[in-house]
Structure 1
């Protein structure tokens, strides 16, 4: 290949090597991270992450092999598989946008439940959410504010917290007492909706980002494949033409051959 073609080839190899490394990282996170044991209990999540990483790594390695060895079949297979993945990512991104309103409605239904306060307290303690109350803050707990609402010392005096005089349970002495303390100023409704929107935005960005990356990869692979085929069809012809003897050589030889008696 020429210098321009070599640049495209190595750019494609680096591009796919990064994706292969990303896939390997996904598999490693699924198997060796601190949450691996918990994820294995949720078999669907564990194997989905592992399978996704393995597929990404395998397709990327196939692309690297095809470009480095200049194998047209490998690049064509890579293009087909990545095209399918690109379409799936586009569908996933569009579906994610359409599901957002429906999921938001389910969130609002959750906050209308009668036992939402108890559920939120359980969620706060499990996930260490930095919020207090459902919609109006610590006032919903009257004067008995749970420990999950109390700001840690590192947050006190910041915008995350607000001061209040309320009766709260102290776990060490096992009795209720009045203390001036600081509680989280953001309500759990506001925090959970904000985190939900951030998660949906991130998922949509990932879907469309992978679609764009896949499209770029397919264009590069097709370009390299066409250049390889063009190079292989033109090189034998040029070699043949260079080695072909002149057309007049045979006539010249016959004209000056001595006549036999």
Structure 2
């Protein structure tokens, strides 16, 4: 006889199936991205591998929980409960320090970016990354516009097919006068505030994911613990049944006649 409430069990299995599907989606996206990237793009391949690993872990844990609940297997549910408890501790251990130091991250990054100016003397990899971002976001420089590039303003800063108020002329000082250089127009908006905004959004998403998965792992641990308790609980013996229409035997039936 089943010891776990059928509705409770089906709810638990249903959500585990949903997370198993999510794990398969992660694995599929990771494999698709892997085939599209070149082998020399090591940093991107590292992110793809992490996505595949996370998807595989989610899939295995979801199958483990669904199987243990459906079969009412105490050992499987205990293993699932322990893993969920460990996952909750790890996720909250990552999320809480990030949330506490979040207001210090943006100013620290701004100071770090200030040390990279002038950009024409910065690391080549950072220059290539920033130039790509300039082309995509229609911005130039970090915090002071094109002046952050010194005398080597790259072509990625040039205005093209944008509103005139988004552009400005490059000028330089000549005999204490500001003159334009070949009427060259570049983006007036610096990239630093945009980058800081993206980083802030990324931190919010990361905190949401960490706290969200931590809460779900805690809920799964509680539900699995309830099922473990129900499985290990002894089966109560049924109470004795007494007939309501019971009648005692007649006196003549108890004492036979001589």
Quote the offset at 1:92 in angstroms.
0.6
Q: How does 1:109-258 map to 2 (within 5 A)?
A: 109-117=112-120, 119=122, 121-127=127-133, 128-130=135-137, 131-138=139-146, 140=148, 146-153=154-161, 156-157=162-163, 162-166=166-170, 177-178=182-183, 181=185, 183-230=186-233, 233-234=235-236, 237-238=237-238
Q: Distance in 1 between matches of 2:220 and 2:146?
A: 52
Q: Distance in 1 between matches of 2:18 and 2:159?
A: 42
Are residue 14 (structure 1) and residue 11 (structure 2) matched?
no
Query: Conserved in 2, the CA contact under 8 Å of 1:30 and 1:36?
Result: no
Q: How does 1:46-85 map to 2 (within 5 A)?
A: 46-85=48-87
Query: Conserved in 2, the CA contact under 8 Å of 1:39 and 1:45?
Result: no
CA deviations on 1:27-55 (whole Å, 9 max, x unpaired) are: 22222226554587346544433322211
Q: Distance in 2 between matches of 1:40 and 1:219?
A: 42
Q: Secondary structure at the match of 1:164?
A: strand
Tell which deviates more after alignment, 205-214 or 84-93: 205-214
Q: TM-score, normalised by structure 1?
A: 0.70
Match of 1:26 in 2: 26
Number of equivalent positions: 225
Quote the offset at 1:227 in angstroms.
3.1
Query: Conserved in 2, the CA contact under 8 Å of 1:9 and 1:68?
Result: yes
Match of 1:108 in 2: 111
Quote the offset at 1:226 in angstroms.
2.7
Q: TM-score, normalised by structure 2?
A: 0.70
Structure 1 191/39 Cα, relative in aligned 2: closer, same or farther at 3 Å?
farther
Quote the offset at 1:208 in angstroms.
0.9
Q: Distance in 2 between matches of 1:106 and 1:144?
A: 24
Quote the offset at 1:97 in angstroms.
3.2
Match of 1:41 in 2: 42
Q: Distance in 2 between matches of 1:224 and 1:152?
A: 63
